[in-house]
Amino acid sequence: MVVRGHSPAILTPMMKKIKNVAYKELPVVTKLRKGIVGIRRSPQRRELLGRQCVAANIETKMVLRDVKTRWNSALIMCERASELREPFDLTLRAIHKLRKYILDDDEWCKINELLKILSPFREATVMLSNEHSPTMARVTSVYQVLLNHLEKYEKNDYDIVPGPAKRHRSNSEVVVSHPEWLVRAAVRGLDKLENTQMKNHVKSSTDDELKKYLSDGVVDPDLLRKEKTGIDGALGWWSIHCKEYPSLAKMAKDFLAASGTGVPVERLFSDGTDLLSHRRQSMAPETIKICICLKSWLKSKELFQEDIRDAMSHKLAADAHEINLF
């Protein structure tokens, strides 16, 4: 099985590019944003929007404005505006200065089309940001799905995403997206390595293992779908074939067990201020590590319950031993 990976960080520039293109190619997005800013600017206008929600029998919510540093804020802004379309329009009509920001039916259709384009990116972000299971093996397939999704809209009437799909599907990425080509490249690289750098080295069983692995071809992606075959992705495949490829399986597990994004690390740093408050900054590094680990176990519920019980048992036994010494 060939492991192909792109850095998940490559999704971020793609998302930002789409957002920038949307604002440039679709004036309706800027128009919507100005209407939202106009309502949010005044407490009286926000209150008027709330009354319009009640009159329309819609849950009272506030329209949301996007943020430049968050690509998905444009999606959230459009979603909330679409949800509050009737009270939002009525509020704009009731305020003379904001009437120029009222959207017609065609403009709302463009907003809904933009929602269809951006929604898969949010789903991909949530999937790859999961910190309870490895996501590295999913990056390539998710990236491929997003590219295919963008290409569907390259020829539409709104012309929202002509650039991003072409820009991100370069020739090199097309080559990597075909595992057969990647296998051939790996074989050529291995032959070159053997001819130039490994002439004087004794061939080991690992060499034969690698050649056997490369000669077996590419695994059908459908076989890695748990709901169909019971094999849980690339990691599941390597677990099944660990005896057949012992050395490669160890390498694959070390690589694929990593997170596909830096989100878990970012969350860890965000939790730092909760653990190390202004009144508690003298904790030893080992104590900090134990607290973070224990918190992760507790959040994982049943996943690490046995580890928690073992840790508590060892701790109680150690405390009892110290008491007996005295």
Q: How many CA atoms lie within 13 A of 114 on its CB side?
A: 31
Tokens of 42: 């005044």
DSSP assignment letter at 225: -
Per-residue pLDDT of the chain in tens (326 residues, 90 and over written 9): 333 333 345 566 666 666 666 666 678 888 999 999 999 999 999 999 999 999 999 999 999 998 877 778 888 999 999 999 999 999 999 999 999 999 999 999 989 988 888 888 888 877 777 666 667 667 777 777 887 777 777 655 445 554 544 444 444 444 444 455 455 555 565 556 555 555 554 455 556 777 777 777 777 666 666 666 666 677 777 788 888 888 888 887 777 777 666 666 677 777 777 788 777 778 888 888 888 877 777 776 666 667 667 777 777 787 777 666 65
Residue showing tokens 């057949």: 244
Q: Percent helix, strand, coil in the chain (nearest 5)?
A: 70, 0, 25
* Contact (Cβ atoms closer than 8 angstroms) between residue 242 and residue 249: yes
Which candidate, 145, 127, 146, 123, places its Cα nearest to that of 135? 127
Q: What's the pLDDT at 241?
A: 80
Give one DSSP letter per residue of 240-281, joined into a string: HTTTTSHHHHHHHHHHHTS-SSSHHHHHHHHHHHHHS-TT--
Cα(270)–Cα(265) distance, rounded to whole angstroms?
A: 9
**What pLDDT, on the 0 to 100 scale, is given for residue 45?**
95
pLDDT at position 171 is: 41
Start-to-end C-alpha separation, the chain: 59
Separation between Cα atoms, residue 119 and residue 115, nearest integer Å: 6
Instruction: Return the amino acid letter for 85.
Output: R
pLDDT of residue 282: 80
Residue 317: the pLDDT is 80
C-alpha span between 83 and 64 (Å, rounded):
11
Answer positive or negative: Cα dihedral of 57, 61, 65, 69: negative
Place of tokens 């920001």: 101
Those residues whose C-beta lies under 8 Å from the C-beta of residue 279, and which sit 6 or more positions away, are none
- The DSSP line for 164-182 is HHHHHS-HHHHHHT-HHHH
pLDDT of residue 93: 95
β-bridge partners, 67: 70
130 in Cβ contact with 122 (< 8 Å): no
Token pair, residue 236, equals: 């599941």
Q: Enumerate the domain spans of the chain.
A: 8-171, 276-325
